[in-house]
Every structure is written in structure tokens, then in C-alpha cells.
Amino acid sequence: MQKLFDEVNSLDKRCYEKFLLSEDLLMEHAASSMALYISENHSSYKSILIICGSGNNGADGITLARLLHTKFDVKLYLFSDAKSEMAKLQLQRAHALGVNVVDELSNADVIVDCIFGTGLNKPLNQNCENLINTLNSYESIKIACDIPSGINSLGQVESVALEADVTITMGALKTSLFTDVAKDYVGKIVVADLGIQRNLYELDSNKYLLDESDMNLPFRNKKNSHKGSFGHLNVVAGCKKGAGIIAAKAAFGFGAGLVSVVCHENLDLPYHIMQTHFISENCTAIAIGMGLGKYETQEIRRLLNKDVAKIIDADLFYDELICEVLNQEVVLTPHPKEFVSLLKLCAIADIDVSELQNNRFLYVQMFSKKYPKVVLLLKGANVIISQNEKLFVNSFGSAVLSKGGSGDVLSGLVGSLLAQGYKALDAAITASLAHAIASRNYKKNNYSLIPSHLVEEIRKL
């Protein structure tokens, strides 16, 4: 996993003070990293348009123009006059070298956005919106310096933002690059070298970006085992019984030795999935909430008070009953609407889904601070997993998963790992990664996924 930072100004300042690396030197290395990326990945193109703002993001772009001068047909467009000392200095250097500074926008093979970076702290004016809309209309390779212009330091987009193919971010990964809103704009994310190894540049963080290598699949390494060695998951089926059945199938395919669906009505289940009317005596984990609908409160309360690992989803996030288990190490897997309801039930915030989506990290942290034992998995374009003060982002998800039943598969995966003895946080991380990576491995049209396809891809991991 890789560290995420809400801001990196403090990291830059530390480089100046502790490592005696000047602002000028860091900027030269930042621009060199961008130049190297462009040279290695886009050498077949001829023309490059670099659009610069007035601050240090613009200064990065001016430096880049100087480094690429004569190697490409470089056009440097200054959207606003240089104001920062570094921007003024880099512009003097570019003029001395004869870099082509143009007064009008024109298309190019590659466009580099160096307008705002992380410095955007107010709404865009009409001129900025017009500029970004024009750049988006060009059929060019678009590269953003640090963060696409139009995205602010919280990862929010108030009106428009550059639709980048690649974002080259300076020194370390920023949290703002991994909001759900930002996902349609950032493209591929590359970290630029600032002349110091990344492990020295970065300090401690409580936020992390998950890598595929963080997925710890439940491989069976012991030869002397039996089905009971791998746990017994009970999936509670409710009014919409299909949700529970989907979760049960996913759980069985993800390594649980035994899976039983708990339902008072007789179900038509695959032969390898058992049915029980009550929680099994040898149950090692419970999955509850998927398709639960209306239910008898006392019966559900008894299930929730059972001293085994639990994954809770869906309908229970609308009932005050959920508050009775938040002092336990349970896994909660709400989607945004469900999380909004949960926040209100817990007296943390009374907000709508739009407010949540604009501030996902904030509200996840608020919830985890109040309930440090709970593992929260907030679904979305980028999944956020949190426990206590630590927060993890899974960015592997895709629109393939935007189908009914996908969340039930995820519940089954988490439940399966809990039944097999995984700790709650580890189960949530591995299940979420398997769920998302399997969706990326799906090769058919991205609108055609059904839950059984997803389960099959997970079995191939």
C-alpha cells in the first residue's frame, strides 16, 4: 500500500530545511520527471501545448517547456501573468532559451495542464471554465500537473475540470486524487520524483492507497484439514431472498468450508449450500442485512448479539437496531444512501447523498472516530475502508460493478473471510480488492455483468 497525504506543503518545507533542497531544485526535478514521462510514453508525437497559471504549478509548466524545447514543437501559453517568484524566474529562463510563448490557444498532440494544481481554493470564473471546456474539446493526450485544474484540494469539482488521461502528481499521492468525483478526471496517476527517494520525502500518514499486493487470498496451505477447518458462514436471508443466495454462493466460492442460508421458508439452493431455520451451532460468522426487508426485531437482535464475527449490509442501516452493535468489531458495508441514514441514526450528521459524496473522507473519519472498533467499508467508485484512525482507499473498482447483486457478492466475500478467521479489517480489505480486481478482469461488455460472472472471476484470482 502507498501513503496518501491531505497536503504536501509540509513535506516540501521539510526538504528545504532538513535536506537543504531548494524550491528551485525540487521544481527542476518535478519538471524533469514530467519531461521524462512524456519522452518515454509520447515520443511519436510532435507538438505539445503547455498551459500555465500564475503560481508554482504554472512555474512547473514553464520549466517543462524549457526542458522539452527543440525536442518537441513546444508552445507555452500563459493563461495569466506570472506572479510567484518561481514562475517569474522560470519564465526568464524560458525567454532566454527562446521557448515559443504563444498568445492564442491551439490544438496539439499533447496538452499539459499547469494552471492551478493543488492551489485551487475558490470557484472558477467564467474565463477559467471556458479555457477548461476548450481544452476538453481537443482530441489530444491530456496530462495534468499535480491535479487536473478544476479539482480543489478536497477533491471536489464545482463546475468543470480538465479530463486528464494522466495526472503526474508531485512527490507523493494526494487524498484529493481519490474522491469519487475526481475519478472521471484524473486518469492514470503517476508520482513524480522530486530529487529525493519517495520514502525519504514522505512522513507518516494514517491514509493509504491499496495495491493489488495487499490482497491476501485464502489459499489453503495446510494438507491436514477438513471442511470445518475453514469456517461456517451463516447468511441470513430476508424478503428479497435472492440477495442472500448470491452472498452465499460468493462466500462458498471464496473459501468458506460450509455456508448455510438462514431462512424460515424453504429455498431452492444449490446442492453445496445448506439451509437452516436458525443459526448453526458451529457458525463462525454471520452475514446479515442483504435483502432483509421487514423482519421481527427481537429475532434480528438475537442474531446481532451472537458472539461471532459479523458483516452487516443494506436494510439494517435504516434501523436504530444497528446502533446496538457499534461497540463491536463488526464490518459494515453501506452504499452512500445507506451511510447517510447511518450517520443520522448515530447522531453524527444529518446530510444528503450529495453532501456525503463531496466529503466522503470527512464523514468516514467522523464515523470511525466515534466508533473505533467498527470496520466501515463505504462503497463507491473508490471504496473507502476505515477503522479507528486508519483509512484505506481501493481505487480498482469500475463501472462494471454498477449492477444489482454486486454488493451482495461483496458481503459474501467479507463473510467468507470472517468465517475463515480473518480479522475484520483484513477481511474487508482483501474482499474489497478481490471484488474490484475481478470486475476489471471481466472481458465481456462492461454493461453485461451478472453476479455469477463476478463470482466466477473471483474464483480465477
Query: Can you say which residues are annotated as belonging to the binding site for (6S)-NADPHX?
Result: 56-60, 117-123, 146, 243, 291, 335, 408
- Please tell me the pTM assigned to this model: 0.93
CB 438 within 8 A of CB 410: no
Query: Can you say which residues are annotated as belonging to the binding site for AMP?
Result: 407
One domain for residues 277 and 148 = no
One domain for residues 229 and 187 = no
Q: What pLDDT does 189 receive?
A: 97
CA triplet 58, 64, 68: central angle to 5 degrees? 150
Q: Answer with the one of 136, 171, 205 that is the final residue of a domain.
A: 205
One domain for residues 200 and 223 = no
pLDDT (tens, 9 = 90+) of the chain, 461 residues, equals 999 999 999 999 999 999 999 999 999 999 999 999 999 999 999 999 999 999 999 999 999 999 999 999 999 999 988 889 999 999 999 999 999 999 989 999 999 999 998 878 788 899 999 999 999 999 999 999 999 999 998 999 989 999 999 999 999 999 999 999 999 999 999 999 999 999 999 999 999 999 999 999 999 988 888 888 899 999 999 888 899 999 999 999 999 999 999 998 888 899 999 999 889 999 999 999 998 887 778 889 999 999 999 999 999 999 999 999 999 999 999 999 999 999 999 999 999 999 999 999 999 999 999 999 999 999 999 999 999 999 999 999 999 999 999 999 999 999 999 999 999 999 999 999 999 999 999 999 999 999 999 999 999 99
Q: What pLDDT does 297 receive?
A: 84
Residue pointed to by grid coordinates 491530456: 142
The C-alpha atoms of residue 441 and residue 232 are separated, in whole angstroms, by: 28
Number of H helices, E strands in the chain: 15, 19
226, with CB counted inside 10 A (0-12, 13-18, 19+), is: exposed
Among 375, 283, 288, smallest CA distance to 328 is for 375
One domain for residues 7 and 80 = yes
Which residues are 25's β-sheet partners? none
Phi, psi for residue 181 in degrees, rounded to 5? -65, -40
The C-alpha atoms of residue 196 and residue 218 are separated, in whole angstroms, by: 38
Q: Answer with the one of 175, 205, 235 that is the final residue of a domain.
A: 205
CA triplet 333, 338, 343: central angle to 5 degrees? 100
Q: Which amino acid is at 436?
A: A
All 3 cell numbers of residue 348?
A: 453524527
The C-alpha atoms of residue 19 and residue 391 are separated, in whole angstroms, by: 29
One domain for residues 329 and 348 = yes
One domain for residues 21 and 110 = yes
Among 380, 398, 332, 390, smallest CA distance to 208 is for 390
What CATH number has the domain bearing residue 86?
A: 3.40.50.10260
Torsion sign over Cα 259, 424, 370, 362: negative
Q: At 445, which helix (H) or strand (E)?
A: none
One domain for residues 268 and 355 = yes
Torsion sign over Cα 170, 3, 382, 157: negative
Q: Answer with the one of 172, 205, 238 that is the final residue of a domain.
A: 205
One domain for residues 230 and 192 = no
Query: Can you say which residues are annotated as belonging to the binding site for K(+)?
Result: 57, 113, 149
One domain for residues 325 and 239 = yes
Total domains present in the chain: 2
One domain for residues 333 and 381 = yes
Query: What is the domain range of residue 287?
Result: 213-459
Query: Can you say which residues are annotated as belonging to the binding site?
Result: 56-60, 113, 117-123, 146, 149, 243, 291, 335, 407-408
Q: What pLDDT does 156 receive?
A: 93
What CATH number has the domain bearing residue 404?
A: 3.40.1190.20
Question: DSSP secondary structure string, 177-209?
Answer: GGSTTTHHHH-EEEEEP-SS-HHHH----SEEE
One domain for residues 391 and 416 = yes
One domain for residues 339 and 246 = yes
